[in-house]
Structure formats: C-alpha cells, structure tokens
Structure 1
Amino acid sequence: MGGLETKAIVEINQLANQYKSSIVLKVGTRFIDVKSILGLSITLFSNQVYQLEIHGPDEAEAKHAMEELFNKHGLPLSED
C-alpha cells in the first residue's frame, strides 16, 4: 500500500467517524463498514466502482462529504 492509498484510507475513516450515521461501502458482493479502518484497508483499492449506503440522522451531510472525499482521491462511486 502506497502513501496516497494510506492517506485516502485514513481520511475516509476519519471523516466517516465524524458522523452518527451508518456508512457502508458496497464493493461487488461485499459490504464494508467505512468506520472500520481494517475493512477499508483490504477493500478500497481493488479497482472497482463503489457504492455508499448511508443511513442515520445526518445522512445527507455524510453523503455529501463522503462523495467529495471519494472524488478527491479518484475513487469512482456508482449512482445507485
């Protein structure tokens, strides 16, 4: 894992932990809790399109912030 990848994982994890909402990343048939740095570290850079599923009291804010961060790191999100 390179420096940029590590930075992306840490930034995504830290941002997710600022929200009360559940933030799950769907990659293929796997579901990863974005608040789990271990889950992210083994999943994030598998050259896939990712889908965020966010549910909770601050989901609109969390979704907007997570989408911006994924875009910043060049990680494609599906529109589903």
Structure 2
Amino acid sequence: MATNNEAVVEIAQTAGKFSSSIVLQADNKYIDVKSILGLFTTLVSSHSYELHVHGPDAEEAKKALVEVFAKHNLKVEVVSE
C-alpha cells in the first residue's frame, strides 16, 4: 500500500506542474488528477485508467504523467481527442 501512496502524491505533484486540465477516467468515474483525495479513492479500486489531457502544455503533461504511471506499474492509456 505504501507504494500506492507514493504514486498518488507523485502523480498529483506532477500534474500540478502543468496548466492543462488533466482528468483520469477509471471505470465510469472522472477524477481531477491534481486532487490527491480523488486519486486516493480511485487508484486503489481500479486497474486500468484513461488519461484525458487538454490545454496549452498537454503534450508535455501527457509525457510526464505516463512516465510516473509506468514507474509505479500503473496501466494508463492516454486518450487523444
């Protein structure tokens, strides 16, 4: 469980560096990735995630977050709209 806490904090901190809107979709829930509380309740309950990123620095944000998810062995798919 400790690794999950680290993942949550690192994901939220990484997301916070960007001005883009970053939303994680887990099953039918949408969570603001900059919200540590939202991540805590979600990263535990689901196993496959979709990342929706919109904004001026979306490309950099996608790249950074995919790296953090991979580092913590979390599966994420970036959705290109």
Letter of the 2:22 partner, please give it: I
Alignment partner, residue 50 of structure 1: 49
CA distance in 2 between partners of 1:54 and 1:48 (Å):
19
Letter of the 2:25 partner, please give it: K
Alignment partner, residue 13 of structure 2: 14
Letter of the 2:40 partner, please give it: S
4+ aligned runs moved over 3 Å, structure 1: none
Note closer, same or farther for the CA distance 1:29–1:47 as it changes in structure 2 (3 Å cut).
Answer: closer
Shift of 1:45: 2.0
Letter of the 1:67 partner, please give it: V
C-alpha root-mean-square deviation of aligned residues, in Å? 1.1
Note closer, same or farther for the CA distance 1:62–1:48 as it changes in structure 2 (3 Å cut).
Answer: same
Return 5+ residue gaps in structure 2 as ranges.
Answer: none
- TM-score, normalised to structure 2, is 0.91
Alignment partner, residue 34 of structure 1: 33
- TM-score, normalised to structure 1, is 0.93
Q: Comparing both structures, which one devotes a greater share of its residues to strand?
A: 2
> Percent sequence identity over matched residues?
48
- Decide which moves more: 28-37 or 70-79: 70-79
**Is the aligned partner of 1:73 residue 2:72?**
yes
Shift of 1:49: 0.7
- Matched residue count: 79
Return 5+ residue gaps in structure 1 as ranges.
Answer: none
